[in-house]
Amino acid sequence: MNRPPGGIDRVSISTLTAEAESKATDFNATERSAFVRKTVHQVKAMAANGYTKNSIKEVFPEFAEDYPGLFEMILRPGGYDERSYNLMIQMLDKMGSGKTTQHQASIKVGQHLMDAYVTPNLPPTPTTPTTPTTSQQ
């Protein structure tokens, strides 16, 4: 097997993660969004080159552990919803620039996911039939 795209291996990822943990206050939302963008790009490239999910997880164990939903989403057969991914990244950017709080971003992403995946799959709600009123003459 070839070296993973971007020249990143498990050792350098571990080193970068340890550095980020030692400077926890320095690893803000803007840096997280940059990290997520870069890692998603690398994971997608590895998948496109035939790497298995397990081999990708070995190269990016922290990403797979810290972002399990995202990791599974981008490796899902048939692809994933780019709109959901882009909204999550936008919210991280807005949190990093102070334009929104984590709570507000969570609500926005949750509402998007509800509208995109839950609501369309709910059974229709029964409507109360209206009975015509009879007028006395």
- Identify the residue whose tokens are 């790497």: 51
Give CA torsion, residues 50, 67, 90, 76, to 10 deg: 40
> Rounded CA gap, 24 and 2, in Å?
33
| pLDDT tens for the chain, residues 1 to 137 | 444 544 444 555 555 555 544 444 456 888 888 899 999 999 999 999 999 999 999 999 999 998 898 899 899 988 888 898 899 889 989 998 999 998 999 999 999 989 988 899 889 888 766 666 655 55
* Cα 11 to the center of its chain, rounded Å: 24
Report how far residue 15's alpha carbon sits from residue 20's, in angstroms, rounded to the nearest whole number. 9
Span 102-136, pLDDT tens digits = 899 999 999 998 998 889 988 988 876 666 665 55
| Burial class of 34 by CB neighbour count within 10 A (0 to 12, 13 to 18, 19+) | middle
One-letter amino acid at 122 equals L
Residue ranges of alpha helices (H) inside the chain are 10-22, 29-48, 53-59, 61-66, 68-74, 82-96, 102-113
